[in-house]
Chains A and B, each alone.
With several copies, the nearest count.
Chain A
Amino acid sequence: MNIIDQGQGELFLDPDPDKAREFFRTKNRKQVNKVMDLKDAIARFVKDGDYLAIGGFGANRTPIAACHEIVRQKKKNLGFAGHTSTHDMEVLSAGEVYDRIDVAYVIGLEARGLSPCSRQYMESGKVKVTEWTNYSLAARLRAAAMGVPFVPTRNVMGTDTIKYSAAKTVECPFTGKKVVLMPALYPDVSVIHVHEADVYGNARFRGIAVADIDLANASKRLIITTERLIHSDEIKRDPSATRIPYFLVDAVCEVPYGAYPGTMPYEYFSDEAHLREWLNVEKDPAEFKAFLAKNIFDCKDHEEYIARNGGMKKMLELRAKELLLFKEV
């Protein structure tokens, strides 16, 4: 395969599908009860040095409770897939839990502005960075999901984005056209937040899928956090609704409001005031330290974090906002 062009960025994970196969061969195929505390799931499945990926899209159906727990347990030297990582990255940056990152979109919180904390950490020189795009990272997960070492795409050619990536440009043997090969990305561990899952890990969610189906398939270990556990009979009653089958899943954690302060479609909208508080408080290191103590380190769990930020009253407000209950459309 003649390589026309290739990025000089570091490839943090081995795209070899045979190595992934050897691992996947060892995963339990039985439907067994995988329900556990989020604390236990993070302790057991997120190891220092692991490459981590987070489902959802920044602050939308994103397992923020899991991100807090990862910081609370002071994980270190993680790799991280920064595909439109917004508030999740902000939390992980606060803990400086990662030291290498595949970037598509980081630091920013979209229309809300940039996170000073994430930015400082990214500018510190402490983080190894390889550049991609949202679709490039999605394609890398697709390759892994397919059990192949790469898939081709037609983006990034001619840019510095490919130069600082680990992609390779080759000539298509069918058409003579250039295509970019995106190497498979098999995260060591991922966390995906869903609406409903049974105790075995059969999971379903509503709204946009982002890249979560491929992510679930690509991940060596997968932690599901769910708004609600449902009975397995309910899964069996409508197997067309299952988006993630149980055999991919290692842990199922019931975490109501697990995406707070982000949005969970059809459940609750993002807490914009609290997200603004995050962005503001980061400007002052001392204040930020106290804020993190209050909201992460001194919290036993996500329930306590929510209690400290408005509790059930706030959750009902966010539900009303999500469902546009008081707005005529």
Chain B
Amino acid sequence: MAEYNAMEIMICVAARELENGATVGVGTGAPCAAAMLAQKTTAPDLVIMFEAGGIYPTLPEMPISVGDSRTFYKAAMAGSMGDIMEACSRGFVDYTFLGGAQIDMYGNLNSTVIGNHAKPKVRFPGSGGANDFASFCWRMMVMTPQNNRRFVEKVDFLTTPGWLQGGDSRAKSGLPLGSGPYKIITDMAIMDFEPQSKRMRVISIHPGYSFKDVQENCGFELLKAPQLADTPAPSDEELRLLREEIDPYRYVIGR
């Protein structure tokens, strides 16, 4: 079996979640790499949208920015941020991939501050389009390394909505009905959410890890699916595509 690093397995596993013919709103970095890998493997007709306005480009290389020229290279349309976000708002976009500094058991994300808002200990970039994508897209997915610093009991600042306080709290919040977090993909496991409580639940463990590893690298109690799957390792072909075609300069997978 090939060697691979934490970023590589996250990208490969994430790519497999995207079905052919779906629409996905992505940012730069790992989400974009996952979408590009999906296009080259199981989802050749995956429709990629970038929040600044690029619709269905033929990506010649990894974009550096969600607004750079590559995001609308040989695209169906170079539109506006409104075109993208309102397509999401109308229910045209199936998936989004997000990240964040912190995530809680309901999939809520913090990308705003650690500490006090007025004079924060650490200031992060803020929502950007993350809250918008998570509010509007049908299925929000997260790619993030598994550790106690990121997986926390309570996020310092709830930037981007997951299942909020769990249960029916999101349904009652006013956010579009039927949207919400779907899968959380880390370097150790795949999680989904238990349908009633909306609590994070481990459903598949990556090679070399156990449920115990995952739990130990999580700041809250994880649920466990009745049958835990074994995540297939990245295939040689997945790794080749990722390393040779998608990210030859290791911008993302070299992190």
List chain B residues, Cβ under 8 A from A272. Answer: 64
B231 touches A (CB below 8 Å): no
Complex: chain B residue closest to A142, CB-CB = B82
Known contacts A111-B29, A263-B65, A266-B69; decide if A239 and B77 are in contact (CB<8 Å): yes
Known contacts A107-B125, A157-B174, A247-B92; decide if A208 and B131 are in contact (CB<8 Å): no
Interface string of A47-87 (1 = CB under 8 A from B): 00000000011111100000000000000000000101010
B60 touches A (CB below 8 Å): yes
Interface string of B26-46 (1 = CB under 8 A from A): 011100000000000000010
Complex: chain A residue closest to B123, CB-CB = A122
Q: Is B67 a contact partner of A57 (Cβ separation < 8 A)?
A: yes
Q: Give Cα distance in the complex from A171 to B60, angstroms.
A: 45
Contact of A157 among B21, B71, B135 (CB under 8 A): B135
B243 touches A (CB below 8 Å): no
Task: Name the distance in Å between A16's Cβ and chain B's nearest Cβ.
Answer: 10
Q: Chain B interface secondary structure, helix, strand, loop or mixed?
A: loop
B107 touches A (CB below 8 Å): no
List chain A residues, Cβ under 8 A from B88. Answer: 147
Task: Name the distance in Å between A181's Cβ and chain B's nearest Cβ.
Answer: 12
Q: Give Cα distance in the complex from A32 to B91, angstroms.
A: 20
Q: Give Cα distance in the complex from A58 to B68, angstroms.
A: 10
Within 8 A of B (CB), among A17-32: 17-18, 20-25, 27-31
Q: Give Cα distance in the complex from A22 to B127, angstroms.
A: 26
Selected interface stretch from B47-55, B142-150, B185-193: B47-55
Contact of A24 among B55, B85, B91, B161 (CB under 8 A): B91
Known contacts A28-B21, A111-B251, A239-B72; decide if A84 and B94 are in contact (CB<8 Å): no
Q: Is B64 a contact partner of A135 (Cβ separation < 8 A)?
A: no
List chain A residues, Cβ under 8 A from B128. Answer: 84, 104-105, 133-134
* Residue from the set B27, B66, B118, B164 with the largest chain A CB neighbour count within 10 Å: B66
List chain A residues, Cβ under 8 A from B122. Answer: 123
B197 touches A (CB below 8 Å): no
The bracket for how many chain A residues form the interface is 35 or more
Within 8 A of B (CB), among A143-178: 144-148, 153-161, 164, 169, 177-178
A314 touches B (CB below 8 Å): no
Complex: chain A residue closest to B82, CB-CB = A138
Complex: chain B residue closest to A123, CB-CB = B123
The bracket for how many chain B residues form the interface is 35 or more
Q: Is B125 a contact partner of A18 (Cβ separation < 8 A)?
A: no
Q: Is A138 a contact partner of B85 (Cβ separation < 8 A)?
A: yes
Q: Give Cα distance in the complex from A234 to B77, angstroms.
A: 11
B212 touches A (CB below 8 Å): no
Q: Give Cα distance in the complex from A214 to B45, angstroms.
A: 26
6 interchain residue pairs of minimum CB distance = A178-B174, A21-B91, A147-B89, A208-B53, A57-B67, A105-B128
Residue numbers of A with Cβ under 8 A of B are 17-18, 20-25, 27-31, 56-61, 82, 84, 86, 103-108, 110-112, 114, 119, 122-125, 129, 131-136, 138, 142, 144-148, 153-161, 164, 169, 177-180, 200, 202, 206-214, 217, 235-237, 239-240, 242, 245-247, 263, 265-266, 269-270, 272, 322, 324, 327, 329
